[in-house]
């Protein structure tokens, strides 16, 4: 599975709370991905860092380990203003993992 809600349930062992967190993720992250894509396309390291940093806690909270780890690498490269081609490659993977997870979350939580 591409996500795990255990951390959410640790915060509040309530399925309705978990669903609310998932709904917020499904609604908000696509807008962040649009900005992330624009930033990567523009090779704007500061903006790449800002958006990557913004989505980091969401990836962690939803147990999206693979996307989280790739995102940490993007953060490091963007902070150092290096490796734009590696950022593009890693971002494509993060984007795919997030969009696939959103589809799965919508199905699993009847959103």
Q: Is residue 34 part of a domain?
A: yes
Question: Is residue 91 a part of any domain in this protein?
Answer: yes
C-alpha distances out from residue 91 to 43, 47, 58, 94, Å: 12, 13, 16, 5
Assigned domain for 1 exists: no
Q: Judge whether 48 and 39 are in contact, CB under 8 Å.
A: yes
How high is the pLDDT of residue 92? Answer: 98
Grade residue 3 by pLDDT with cuts at 50, 70 and 90. very high
Per-residue pLDDT, averaged over 14-25, amounts to 93
- Asked if residue 33 is part of any domain, the answer here is yes
In which residue are the tokens 């962690």 written? 60
Dihedral pair phi/psi, residue 5, rounded to 5°: -95, 15
Whichever domain contains 64, its CATH number is 1.20.120
Residue 67 resides in a domain: yes
Is 77 contained in some domain? yes
Per-residue pLDDT, averaged over 83-96, amounts to: 98
- Is pLDDT above 80 for 60? yes
* Predicted pLDDT of residue 18: 92
Which position has the token pair 């991905």? 33
Residue-level pLDDT at 12? 87
Q: Is residue 46 part of a domain?
A: yes
Model confidence at 69: pLDDT above 90: yes
Residue 92, domain extent: 6-108
Structural domain count, the chain: 1
């Amino acid at each position: 599975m591409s996500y795990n809600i255990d951390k959410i349930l640790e915060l509040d062992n309530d399925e309705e709370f978990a669903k609310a967190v998932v709904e917020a993720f499904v609604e908000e992250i696509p807008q962040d991905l649009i900005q992330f894509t624009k930033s990567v396309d523009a090779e704007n390291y500061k903006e790449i860092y800002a958006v990557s940093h913004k989505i980091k806690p969401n990836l962690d909270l939803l147990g999206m380990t693979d996307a989280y780890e790739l995102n940490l690498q993007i953060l490091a490269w963007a902070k150092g203003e290096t490796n734009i081609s590696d950022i593009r490659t890693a971002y494509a993977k993060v984007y795919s993992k997030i969009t696939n997870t959103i589809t799965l979350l919508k199905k699993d939580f009847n959103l």
